[in-house]
Amino acid sequence: MSGAAAQRYTAVAIVLHWAIAFAILLMIPLGLWMHEAAEHGGASSEVFRAYQLHKSIGLTVLALSLVRLGWRLANPPPPLPEHMPAWERIVAKATHWAFYALMIGLPLTGWLFVSAGWSVHDDSPLPVPTRFFGLFTVPHLFGLQGASDEVRSAVAEAASEAHELLAYATIGLAALHAAAALKHHFFDKDATLAHMVPFLRAPFETAAPPANPGRLAVLGVGLSLTAVALAAALFALTARDETPAGSSTVEIVEPAVPAPETPATNETPPAALPPATAEAAAPSWRVNSAASSISFVTSINDGSGDTPIQGRFTRWRADIRFDPEHLDRSRVDVAIETASARTGVGAQEDLLPGPDWFNAGAIPTATFRSDDIRRRGDGYEARGELSIRGRTRDVTLPFTLIVDGAAAVMNGRVTIDRRDFDIGKDADGDDMVARNVDVVVRVEATRAP
Protein backbone atom coordinates (compact mmCIF):
# COMPACT_ATOMS: atom_id res chain seq x y z
CA MET A 1 0.00 0.00 0.00
CA SER A 2 3.06 2.22 -0.07
CA GLY A 3 2.29 5.62 -1.52
CA ALA A 4 -1.44 5.00 -1.70
CA ALA A 5 -3.79 7.49 -0.20
CA ALA A 6 -5.66 6.14 2.82
CA GLN A 7 -9.39 5.92 2.50
CA ARG A 8 -11.23 7.44 5.40
CA TYR A 9 -14.63 7.33 7.01
CA THR A 10 -17.01 10.11 6.07
CA ALA A 11 -16.82 13.30 8.13
CA VAL A 12 -20.24 12.58 9.67
CA ALA A 13 -19.14 9.09 10.72
CA ILE A 14 -15.96 10.50 12.31
CA VAL A 15 -17.87 13.16 14.27
CA LEU A 16 -20.40 10.61 15.51
CA HIS A 17 -17.66 8.15 16.44
CA TRP A 18 -15.73 10.63 18.58
CA ALA A 19 -18.83 12.19 20.13
CA ILE A 20 -19.94 8.74 21.31
CA ALA A 21 -16.39 7.81 22.35
CA PHE A 22 -15.90 10.92 24.49
CA ALA A 23 -19.33 10.47 26.05
CA ILE A 24 -18.49 6.88 27.00
CA LEU A 25 -15.09 7.95 28.36
CA LEU A 26 -16.89 10.42 30.63
CA MET A 27 -19.58 7.93 31.61
CA ILE A 28 -17.22 5.14 32.70
CA PRO A 29 -15.57 6.91 35.69
CA LEU A 30 -18.81 8.75 36.44
CA GLY A 31 -20.76 5.50 36.56
CA LEU A 32 -18.18 3.75 38.74
CA TRP A 33 -18.15 6.68 41.19
CA MET A 34 -21.95 6.76 41.31
CA HIS A 35 -22.09 3.01 41.96
CA GLU A 36 -19.63 3.35 44.82
CA ALA A 37 -21.56 6.30 46.28
CA ALA A 38 -24.85 4.39 46.10
CA GLU A 39 -23.30 1.35 47.81
CA HIS A 40 -22.31 3.58 50.74
CA GLY A 41 -25.54 5.56 50.96
CA GLY A 42 -24.27 8.74 49.33
CA ALA A 43 -27.01 11.34 48.83
CA SER A 44 -25.15 14.62 48.38
CA SER A 45 -25.93 17.26 45.80
CA GLU A 46 -23.02 15.97 43.73
CA VAL A 47 -24.48 12.47 43.65
CA PHE A 48 -27.93 13.65 42.57
CA ARG A 49 -26.43 15.93 39.95
CA ALA A 50 -24.22 13.10 38.69
CA TYR A 51 -27.19 10.74 38.33
CA GLN A 52 -29.18 13.23 36.27
CA LEU A 53 -26.16 14.01 34.08
CA HIS A 54 -25.42 10.29 33.69
CA LYS A 55 -28.97 9.62 32.52
CA SER A 56 -28.96 12.54 30.09
CA ILE A 57 -25.63 11.58 28.54
CA GLY A 58 -26.72 7.94 28.35
CA LEU A 59 -29.84 8.86 26.40
CA THR A 60 -27.68 11.03 24.12
CA VAL A 61 -25.38 8.05 23.48
CA LEU A 62 -28.45 5.97 22.62
CA ALA A 63 -29.68 8.54 20.09
CA LEU A 64 -26.24 9.07 18.54
CA SER A 65 -25.64 5.31 18.31
CA LEU A 66 -28.88 4.78 16.42
CA VAL A 67 -27.93 7.58 14.03
CA ARG A 68 -24.41 6.14 13.70
CA LEU A 69 -25.82 2.70 12.92
CA GLY A 70 -28.13 4.10 10.25
CA TRP A 71 -25.28 6.12 8.73
CA ARG A 72 -23.01 3.05 8.63
CA LEU A 73 -25.66 0.99 6.84
CA ALA A 74 -26.07 3.75 4.25
CA ASN A 75 -22.34 4.54 3.99
CA PRO A 76 -20.13 1.41 4.11
CA PRO A 77 -16.82 1.86 5.98
CA PRO A 78 -13.40 1.73 4.29
CA PRO A 79 -12.19 -1.80 3.49
CA LEU A 80 -9.98 -3.60 5.97
CA PRO A 81 -6.25 -3.82 5.13
CA GLU A 82 -5.46 -6.52 2.60
CA HIS A 83 -2.77 -8.09 4.80
CA MET A 84 -5.20 -8.91 7.63
CA PRO A 85 -5.70 -12.67 8.07
CA ALA A 86 -9.23 -14.08 7.95
CA TRP A 87 -9.51 -14.61 11.72
CA GLU A 88 -8.54 -10.99 12.41
CA ARG A 89 -11.12 -9.75 9.92
CA ILE A 90 -13.79 -11.79 11.68
CA VAL A 91 -12.73 -10.43 15.09
CA ALA A 92 -12.66 -6.84 13.78
CA LYS A 93 -16.16 -7.05 12.33
CA ALA A 94 -17.51 -8.83 15.41
CA THR A 95 -16.00 -6.14 17.63
CA HIS A 96 -17.66 -3.35 15.68
CA TRP A 97 -21.09 -4.97 15.79
CA ALA A 98 -20.65 -5.79 19.49
CA PHE A 99 -19.98 -2.10 20.06
CA TYR A 100 -23.29 -1.19 18.44
CA ALA A 101 -25.09 -3.74 20.61
CA LEU A 102 -23.45 -2.32 23.75
CA MET A 103 -23.96 1.33 22.81
CA ILE A 104 -27.69 0.67 22.34
CA GLY A 105 -28.20 -1.95 25.05
CA LEU A 106 -26.34 -0.10 27.80
CA PRO A 107 -28.49 3.06 27.84
CA LEU A 108 -31.66 1.02 27.26
CA THR A 109 -31.04 -1.07 30.40
CA GLY A 110 -30.32 2.12 32.33
CA TRP A 111 -33.54 3.67 31.06
CA LEU A 112 -35.43 0.53 32.05
CA PHE A 113 -33.90 0.66 35.54
CA VAL A 114 -34.88 4.27 36.24
CA SER A 115 -38.33 3.61 34.74
CA ALA A 116 -38.92 1.03 37.49
CA GLY A 117 -38.43 3.73 40.13
CA TRP A 118 -36.99 1.26 42.62
CA SER A 119 -33.80 1.30 44.72
CA VAL A 120 -32.02 -2.05 44.54
CA HIS A 121 -29.78 -0.99 47.42
CA ASP A 122 -32.63 -0.30 49.85
CA ASP A 123 -35.30 -2.49 48.21
CA SER A 124 -37.73 0.41 48.38
CA PRO A 125 -39.44 2.82 45.96
CA LEU A 126 -37.21 5.53 44.47
CA PRO A 127 -39.41 7.66 42.19
CA VAL A 128 -36.94 10.10 40.65
CA PRO A 129 -37.90 11.61 37.28
CA THR A 130 -35.35 11.88 34.47
CA ARG A 131 -34.93 15.38 33.14
CA PHE A 132 -33.00 15.46 29.85
CA PHE A 133 -30.41 18.15 30.58
CA GLY A 134 -33.16 20.03 32.41
CA LEU A 135 -35.13 20.57 29.20
CA PHE A 136 -37.97 18.05 29.52
CA THR A 137 -39.02 14.97 31.46
CA VAL A 138 -38.21 11.67 29.80
CA PRO A 139 -41.16 9.23 29.88
CA HIS A 140 -40.80 5.94 31.70
CA LEU A 141 -40.77 2.72 29.70
CA PHE A 142 -43.72 0.34 29.66
CA GLY A 143 -45.69 2.25 32.31
CA LEU A 144 -43.57 0.67 35.04
CA GLN A 145 -44.28 3.44 37.54
CA GLY A 146 -47.83 2.11 37.81
CA ALA A 147 -46.81 -1.53 38.22
CA SER A 148 -46.84 -3.43 41.51
CA ASP A 149 -43.90 -3.26 43.91
CA GLU A 150 -43.01 -6.86 43.06
CA VAL A 151 -42.81 -6.14 39.34
CA ARG A 152 -40.86 -2.91 39.82
CA SER A 153 -38.41 -4.60 42.19
CA ALA A 154 -37.82 -7.51 39.81
CA VAL A 155 -37.37 -5.25 36.77
CA ALA A 156 -35.02 -2.91 38.64
CA GLU A 157 -32.89 -5.81 39.86
CA ALA A 158 -32.62 -7.41 36.41
CA ALA A 159 -32.01 -4.10 34.61
CA SER A 160 -29.39 -3.03 37.18
CA GLU A 161 -27.46 -6.28 36.82
CA ALA A 162 -27.64 -6.15 33.02
CA HIS A 163 -26.57 -2.48 33.00
CA GLU A 164 -23.56 -3.24 35.19
CA LEU A 165 -22.57 -6.27 33.10
CA LEU A 166 -22.82 -4.31 29.85
CA ALA A 167 -20.82 -1.44 31.37
CA TYR A 168 -17.90 -3.71 32.22
CA ALA A 169 -18.17 -5.35 28.80
CA THR A 170 -17.93 -1.89 27.23
CA ILE A 171 -14.80 -1.09 29.23
CA GLY A 172 -13.15 -4.32 28.13
CA LEU A 173 -14.15 -3.95 24.50
CA ALA A 174 -13.03 -0.31 24.41
CA ALA A 175 -9.60 -1.28 25.73
CA LEU A 176 -9.33 -4.05 23.13
CA HIS A 177 -10.47 -1.71 20.35
CA ALA A 178 -7.93 0.99 21.28
CA ALA A 179 -5.10 -1.53 21.56
CA ALA A 180 -5.94 -3.00 18.15
CA ALA A 181 -6.02 0.45 16.53
CA LEU A 182 -2.60 1.34 17.96
CA LYS A 183 -1.21 -2.04 16.89
CA HIS A 184 -2.35 -1.40 13.30
CA HIS A 185 -0.76 2.03 13.24
CA PHE A 186 2.59 1.38 14.93
CA PHE A 187 3.27 -2.28 14.19
CA ASP A 188 1.32 -3.16 11.04
CA LYS A 189 1.82 0.40 9.72
CA ASP A 190 -1.45 0.41 7.81
CA ALA A 191 -4.19 3.03 7.46
CA THR A 192 -6.69 1.60 9.98
CA LEU A 193 -6.22 4.34 12.61
CA ALA A 194 -5.94 7.08 9.96
CA HIS A 195 -9.38 6.08 8.67
CA MET A 196 -10.98 7.52 11.82
CA VAL A 197 -8.59 10.10 13.33
CA PRO A 198 -8.98 13.49 11.63
CA PHE A 199 -5.86 14.87 9.95
CA LEU A 200 -3.76 11.81 10.89
CA ARG A 201 -1.58 10.45 8.10
CA ALA A 202 -1.17 6.74 7.57
CA PRO A 203 2.43 5.58 8.18
CA PHE A 204 2.98 5.08 4.45
CA GLU A 205 1.62 8.50 3.40
CA THR A 206 4.25 11.08 2.46
CA ALA A 207 1.84 14.00 2.11
CA ALA A 208 -1.53 15.01 3.46
CA PRO A 209 -4.48 14.14 1.22
CA PRO A 210 -6.08 17.03 -0.72
CA ALA A 211 -8.26 19.23 1.44
CA ASN A 212 -12.02 19.01 0.95
CA PRO A 213 -13.70 22.22 2.16
CA GLY A 214 -17.04 20.52 2.85
CA ARG A 215 -15.40 17.70 4.78
CA LEU A 216 -13.27 20.16 6.78
CA ALA A 217 -16.36 22.23 7.63
CA VAL A 218 -18.28 19.21 8.91
CA LEU A 219 -15.30 18.01 10.94
CA GLY A 220 -14.60 21.47 12.36
CA VAL A 221 -18.16 22.21 13.38
CA GLY A 222 -18.95 18.70 14.60
CA LEU A 223 -15.83 18.22 16.69
CA SER A 224 -16.09 21.75 18.10
CA LEU A 225 -19.66 21.11 19.22
CA THR A 226 -18.50 17.83 20.75
CA ALA A 227 -15.77 19.63 22.71
CA VAL A 228 -18.21 22.31 23.90
CA ALA A 229 -20.74 19.67 24.99
CA LEU A 230 -18.04 17.76 26.88
CA ALA A 231 -16.89 20.93 28.64
CA ALA A 232 -20.47 21.82 29.55
CA ALA A 233 -21.03 18.33 30.99
CA LEU A 234 -17.89 18.58 33.11
CA PHE A 235 -18.90 22.04 34.31
CA ALA A 236 -22.41 20.83 35.22
CA LEU A 237 -20.90 17.96 37.19
CA THR A 238 -18.45 20.09 39.19
CA ALA A 239 -20.41 23.34 39.57
CA ARG A 240 -22.08 24.02 42.90
CA ASP A 241 -25.13 26.22 43.21
CA GLU A 242 -24.89 29.07 45.69
CA THR A 243 -28.28 29.72 47.24
CA PRO A 244 -28.57 33.07 49.05
CA ALA A 245 -29.38 32.69 52.73
CA GLY A 246 -32.33 35.07 52.64
CA SER A 247 -34.22 36.36 55.65
CA SER A 248 -35.53 34.16 58.42
CA THR A 249 -39.31 33.81 58.13
CA VAL A 250 -42.11 31.47 59.10
CA GLU A 251 -44.84 31.34 56.48
CA ILE A 252 -48.35 30.54 57.63
CA VAL A 253 -50.79 28.84 55.24
CA GLU A 254 -54.41 27.88 55.49
CA PRO A 255 -55.38 24.32 56.46
CA ALA A 256 -55.13 22.00 53.47
CA VAL A 257 -56.58 18.69 52.44
CA PRO A 258 -55.90 16.08 55.13
CA ALA A 259 -52.69 14.10 54.71
CA PRO A 260 -53.04 10.38 53.92
CA GLU A 261 -53.50 8.29 57.01
CA THR A 262 -50.35 6.66 58.34
CA PRO A 263 -50.45 2.95 59.20
CA ALA A 264 -50.02 1.98 62.80
CA THR A 265 -46.45 1.41 63.93
CA ASN A 266 -45.03 -0.99 66.47
CA GLU A 267 -42.07 1.25 67.20
CA THR A 268 -41.66 2.50 70.76
CA PRO A 269 -43.07 5.99 71.32
CA PRO A 270 -40.93 8.71 72.90
CA ALA A 271 -40.82 9.21 76.60
CA ALA A 272 -43.93 10.66 78.18
CA LEU A 273 -44.28 14.41 78.34
CA PRO A 274 -44.52 16.27 81.62
CA PRO A 275 -48.12 16.64 82.81
CA ALA A 276 -49.87 19.65 81.32
CA THR A 277 -50.37 22.54 83.67
CA ALA A 278 -53.69 23.69 82.23
CA GLU A 279 -56.68 23.89 84.48
CA ALA A 280 -58.54 20.62 85.03
CA ALA A 281 -61.67 22.06 83.41
CA ALA A 282 -60.17 21.38 79.95
CA PRO A 283 -60.71 17.66 79.25
CA SER A 284 -57.87 15.41 78.11
CA TRP A 285 -57.98 13.69 74.72
CA ARG A 286 -56.40 10.35 73.85
CA VAL A 287 -54.79 10.14 70.43
CA ASN A 288 -55.58 7.22 68.14
CA SER A 289 -52.04 6.60 66.88
CA ALA A 290 -53.15 4.26 64.08
CA ALA A 291 -55.31 6.96 62.50
CA SER A 292 -53.12 10.00 63.29
CA SER A 293 -49.99 11.30 61.63
CA ILE A 294 -47.40 14.05 61.59
CA SER A 295 -45.93 14.25 58.11
CA PHE A 296 -43.80 16.63 56.10
CA VAL A 297 -43.54 17.58 52.43
CA THR A 298 -40.70 19.34 50.63
CA SER A 299 -38.77 18.85 47.37
CA ILE A 300 -35.33 18.29 45.88
CA ASN A 301 -34.20 20.26 42.86
CA ASP A 302 -31.09 18.83 41.19
CA GLY A 303 -31.00 21.54 38.55
CA SER A 304 -33.33 19.69 36.21
CA GLY A 305 -36.67 19.89 38.03
CA ASP A 306 -38.36 19.43 41.41
CA THR A 307 -38.78 15.97 42.92
CA PRO A 308 -41.20 15.81 45.88
CA ILE A 309 -40.09 14.39 49.23
CA GLN A 310 -42.89 13.12 51.43
CA GLY A 311 -42.19 11.75 54.88
CA ARG A 312 -43.63 11.16 58.32
CA PHE A 313 -42.55 10.67 61.91
CA THR A 314 -43.36 7.24 63.31
CA ARG A 315 -42.72 8.02 67.00
CA TRP A 316 -44.42 10.97 68.65
CA ARG A 317 -46.73 11.80 71.53
CA ALA A 318 -49.33 14.50 72.05
CA ASP A 319 -50.78 15.63 75.36
CA ILE A 320 -53.98 17.46 74.43
CA ARG A 321 -56.20 19.43 76.80
CA PHE A 322 -58.97 21.04 74.80
CA ASP A 323 -62.40 22.50 75.41
CA PRO A 324 -63.97 24.52 72.58
CA GLU A 325 -66.05 26.40 75.15
CA HIS A 326 -63.00 27.29 77.26
CA LEU A 327 -60.13 27.91 74.87
CA ASP A 328 -58.29 29.88 77.54
CA ARG A 329 -57.92 26.61 79.48
CA SER A 330 -56.82 24.57 76.47
CA ARG A 331 -53.28 23.59 75.59
CA VAL A 332 -51.27 21.08 73.61
CA ASP A 333 -47.82 19.57 74.10
CA VAL A 334 -46.30 17.48 71.30
CA ALA A 335 -42.98 15.64 71.38
CA ILE A 336 -41.52 14.06 68.22
CA GLU A 337 -38.54 11.72 67.98
CA THR A 338 -36.79 13.17 64.93
CA ALA A 339 -34.80 9.95 64.38
CA SER A 340 -38.11 8.31 63.45
CA ALA A 341 -38.40 10.33 60.21
CA ARG A 342 -39.31 8.04 57.32
CA THR A 343 -39.47 8.91 53.60
CA GLY A 344 -39.38 5.45 52.04
CA VAL A 345 -35.95 6.19 50.52
CA GLY A 346 -33.15 4.57 52.48
CA ALA A 347 -30.47 7.08 51.50
CA GLN A 348 -32.59 9.95 52.80
CA GLU A 349 -33.57 8.13 55.99
CA ASP A 350 -29.91 7.43 56.76
CA LEU A 351 -29.01 11.12 56.47
CA LEU A 352 -31.94 12.78 58.26
CA PRO A 353 -31.02 11.83 61.86
CA GLY A 354 -27.40 12.94 61.31
CA PRO A 355 -25.74 16.05 62.73
CA ASP A 356 -26.23 18.08 59.53
CA TRP A 357 -30.00 17.59 59.53
CA PHE A 358 -32.05 16.75 62.65
CA ASN A 359 -29.00 16.05 64.84
CA ALA A 360 -31.07 13.43 66.64
CA GLY A 361 -28.05 12.02 68.48
CA ALA A 362 -27.55 15.24 70.42
CA ILE A 363 -31.14 16.59 70.47
CA PRO A 364 -33.47 13.63 69.94
CA THR A 365 -36.79 15.40 70.40
CA ALA A 366 -38.59 18.23 68.63
CA THR A 367 -41.45 19.87 70.53
CA PHE A 368 -44.45 22.08 69.91
CA ARG A 369 -46.17 23.69 72.89
CA SER A 370 -49.14 26.02 72.82
CA ASP A 371 -51.44 27.39 75.49
CA ASP A 372 -52.81 30.11 73.20
CA ILE A 373 -55.56 28.51 71.10
CA ARG A 374 -58.01 30.84 69.35
CA ARG A 375 -60.88 30.69 66.94
CA ARG A 376 -60.06 31.60 63.36
CA GLY A 377 -62.93 31.87 60.88
CA ASP A 378 -64.45 28.40 60.62
CA GLY A 379 -61.51 26.82 62.42
CA TYR A 380 -58.87 27.47 65.04
CA GLU A 381 -55.23 28.35 65.39
CA ALA A 382 -52.68 27.29 67.96
CA ARG A 383 -50.00 29.88 68.69
CA GLY A 384 -46.97 28.36 70.32
CA GLU A 385 -43.29 27.55 70.24
CA LEU A 386 -41.73 25.01 67.90
CA SER A 387 -38.30 23.71 68.94
CA ILE A 388 -36.06 21.66 66.63
CA ARG A 389 -32.32 21.10 67.08
CA GLY A 390 -32.39 23.38 70.11
CA ARG A 391 -33.72 26.29 68.05
CA THR A 392 -37.09 27.73 69.08
CA ARG A 393 -39.39 29.80 66.90
CA ASP A 394 -42.90 31.17 67.34
CA VAL A 395 -45.29 29.33 65.03
CA THR A 396 -49.01 29.64 64.44
CA LEU A 397 -50.67 26.39 63.38
CA PRO A 398 -54.11 26.86 61.78
CA PHE A 399 -56.35 23.82 62.01
CA THR A 400 -59.87 22.57 61.49
CA LEU A 401 -61.68 20.51 64.09
CA ILE A 402 -64.73 18.28 63.93
CA VAL A 403 -66.09 17.09 67.30
CA ASP A 404 -68.71 14.35 67.31
CA GLY A 405 -69.62 13.48 70.87
CA ALA A 406 -66.52 11.98 72.46
CA ALA A 407 -64.63 11.75 69.13
CA ALA A 408 -62.67 14.48 67.37
CA VAL A 409 -60.74 14.87 64.10
CA MET A 410 -58.20 17.66 63.70
CA ASN A 411 -56.33 18.65 60.50
CA GLY A 412 -53.67 21.34 60.35
CA ARG A 413 -50.88 22.49 58.09
CA VAL A 414 -48.09 25.04 58.49
CA THR A 415 -45.07 25.90 56.34
CA ILE A 416 -41.74 26.50 58.06
CA ASP A 417 -38.32 27.48 56.81
CA ARG A 418 -35.97 24.65 57.83
CA ARG A 419 -33.06 27.10 57.95
CA ASP A 420 -34.78 28.80 60.92
CA PHE A 421 -33.85 25.65 62.81
CA ASP A 422 -30.43 25.09 61.17
CA ILE A 423 -31.74 21.93 59.52
CA GLY A 424 -29.33 21.02 56.72
CA LYS A 425 -27.77 24.47 56.69
CA ASP A 426 -24.21 23.21 56.20
CA ALA A 427 -24.98 19.79 54.74
CA ASP A 428 -24.06 18.39 51.36
CA GLY A 429 -27.19 18.68 49.27
CA ASP A 430 -28.54 21.69 51.19
CA ASP A 431 -28.58 23.73 48.00
CA MET A 432 -30.83 21.13 46.37
CA VAL A 433 -33.44 20.77 49.12
CA ALA A 434 -36.21 23.37 49.28
CA ARG A 435 -36.08 25.60 52.33
CA ASN A 436 -39.84 25.59 52.84
CA VAL A 437 -41.22 22.46 54.47
CA ASP A 438 -44.94 21.79 54.89
CA VAL A 439 -45.75 20.14 58.21
CA VAL A 440 -49.08 18.34 58.01
CA VAL A 441 -50.87 17.18 61.15
CA ARG A 442 -53.86 14.87 61.40
CA VAL A 443 -55.14 13.76 64.77
CA GLU A 444 -58.03 11.49 65.60
CA ALA A 445 -58.72 11.41 69.32
CA THR A 446 -61.35 10.45 71.90
CA ARG A 447 -62.24 12.32 75.05
CA ALA A 448 -60.71 10.68 78.10
CA PRO A 449 -63.28 9.51 80.67
pLDDT at 108: 96
Tell me if residue 220 falls in helix, strand or coil.
helix
Parallel, antiparallel or unpaired: strands 391-404 and 137-138: unpaired
pLDDT at 265: 44
pLDDT at 394 over 90: yes
Q: Is the pLDDT of residue 331 over 50?
A: yes
81-126 confidence digits (pLDDT tens): 888 899 988 998 999 999 999 999 999 999 999 888 887 876 777 7
User: How much is the pLDDT for 256?
Assistant: 33
Q: Is 6 in contact with 209 (CB distance < 8 Å)?
A: yes
Quote the pLDDT of residue 212: 82
Angle between helices 45-74 and 11-39 (to 10 degrees): 150
pTM for the whole structure: 0.59
pLDDT in tens, 190-235: 888 888 888 888 888 777 677 788 888 988 898 899 899 888 887 7
Q: What are phi and psi of 85, to 5 degrees?
A: -70, 165
Contact 360, 339 (CB under 8 A): yes
Give the number of other Cβ atoms within 10 Å of residue 358's Cβ: 26
Higher pLDDT, 411 or 279: 411
Query: Are 399 and 419 a contacting pair, CB within 8 Å?
Result: no
Of the chain, the percentage scoring pLDDT greater than 90 comes to 44
pLDDT at 195: 87
d(CA 206, CA 185): 15
Residue pair 416/392 in contact (Cβ under 8 Å)? The answer is no
Q: Residue 187, Cβ neighbours under 10 Å: how many?
A: 9
Give the separation between CA 180 and CA 175, rounded to whole angstroms.
Answer: 9
Q: Where are the beta strands (DSSP E) in 288-378?
A: 293-301, 306-313, 316-321, 331-337, 341-342, 365-376
